[in-house]
């Protein structure tokens, strides 16, 4: 998944970024709300937002984006643990609420749950598309029941499309989700990954919608 992490504490921010990266996610880490301005409009699978930031409230930031109609799944990370705080956080548009200190493993699990619930078509952690089965929790793909080894990038492409199953994902968005800021360096990198996925999982899995993007699963 491509994630935006907004956390001002350097130890926690760096730790979470690196942990989530070793989990195979692409993580952009901002230490303040001002830093997120440069990333406006970037497609993310989820936002991880600290409540109290040096230049404002993460909840206000989230509420502003929700008011604009942006439904990107959001987890609020905070040191505030009172019931009223949690209610306030969820009311502001957070999909989940994690009280510090938390184990990064728990954050990763909540992230998967939130993306499954809200991100796209795949309501279960396992989804099947013809002969192909995808297990988002185990990060594994199966073709006719046999596990298929995928590179990290191939998995990123597959996961992004499965999380948005039934919807057309524009190529520039998919590039950003999968490659982050490296997307501008190699213009044909995405096609390389898509074609190797088709080789491993069959040609029918990923449909190219001409001039628009890619899609996994039937149109929703």
Partner 1 sequence: MLWVVAWGLGVALAVGLAAQHEVDELLDESLYATAMVLAHAIDRVDLESIDDKPLPASEDGEFAWQLVNGGDRMLARSSNAPQLAWHKVHTPGFSDVSAWRVFGVATGREGRLLYVAHTAQERREARGEVIQSAVLAALSIGLIGQAWLRLRVRRELEVLDVLSNRLAGHDPLAGHALGTADRAELAPVHRAIDDLGQRLARRVAHERAFASHAAHALRTPLAGMDAQLAVALRESPAELQPRLQRVRDASGRLQRVVRSLLDLFRVGAEVHRAPVELKALIAHLPVEGLEVTVEGPAHLDVDADLVAAALANLLDNALRYGARQVRASVPAPGVVRLDDDGRGCTPERRRDLRAALAAQHYDGGTGLGLMLADLVARAHGGSVSLPDVDSGFSVALALGDGAAPGP
**Which residues in this chain contact partner 1 in the complex, by CB under 8 A?**
9-16, 18-19, 22, 52, 77, 79-83, 99-105
In angstroms, the Cα distances linking 36 to 41, 72, 138 are 10, 15, 31
Task: Show Cβ contacts of residue 52 under 8 Å, excluding neighbours closer than 6 positions.
Answer: 58, 78, 79, 80
Nearest to partner 1 of 69, 101 (CB atom):
101
Nearest to partner 1 of 15, 130 (CB atom):
15
Nearest to partner 1 of 18, 182 (CB atom):
18
Nearest distance in Å: CB 61, partner 1: 18
Nearest distance in Å: CB 99, partner 1: 8
CB neighbourhood size of 15 (10 A): 13
Nearest distance in Å: CB 59, partner 1: 15
Nearest distance in Å: CB 22, partner 1: 5
HSE-up of residue 48 (Cα within 13 Å, Cβ side) = 30
| 8 Å CB contact between 209 and 168 | yes
């Amino acid at each position: 998944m491509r994630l935006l992490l907004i956390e001002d504490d350097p130890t926690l921010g760096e730790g979470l970024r690196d942990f989530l990266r070793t989990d195979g996610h692409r993580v952009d880490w901002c230490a303040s709300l001002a830093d997120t301005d440069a990333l406006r409009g970037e497609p993310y699978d989820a936002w991880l937002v600290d409540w109290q930031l040096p230049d404002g409230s993460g909840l206000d930031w989230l509420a502003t984006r929700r008011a604009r109609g942006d439904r990107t799944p959001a987890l609020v990370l905070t040191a505030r643990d009172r019931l009223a705080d949690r209610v306030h956080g969820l009311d502001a548009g957070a999909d989940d609420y994690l009280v510090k200190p938390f184990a990064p493993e728990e954050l990763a699990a909540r992230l998967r749950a939130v993306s499954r619930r809200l991100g796209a078509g795949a309501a279960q952690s396992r989804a099947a598309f013809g002969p192909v089965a995808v297990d988002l929790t185990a990060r594994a793909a199966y073709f006719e029941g046999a596990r298929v080894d995928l590179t990290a990038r191939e998995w990123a492409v597959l996961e992004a499309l499965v999380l948005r199953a039934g919807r057309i994902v524009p190529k520039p968005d998919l590039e950003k989700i999968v490659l982050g800021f490296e997307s501008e360096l190699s213009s044909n990198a995405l096609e390389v990954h898509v074609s190797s996925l088709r080789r491993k999982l069959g040609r029918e899995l990923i449909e190219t919608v001409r001039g628009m993007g890619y899609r996994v699963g039937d149109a929703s």
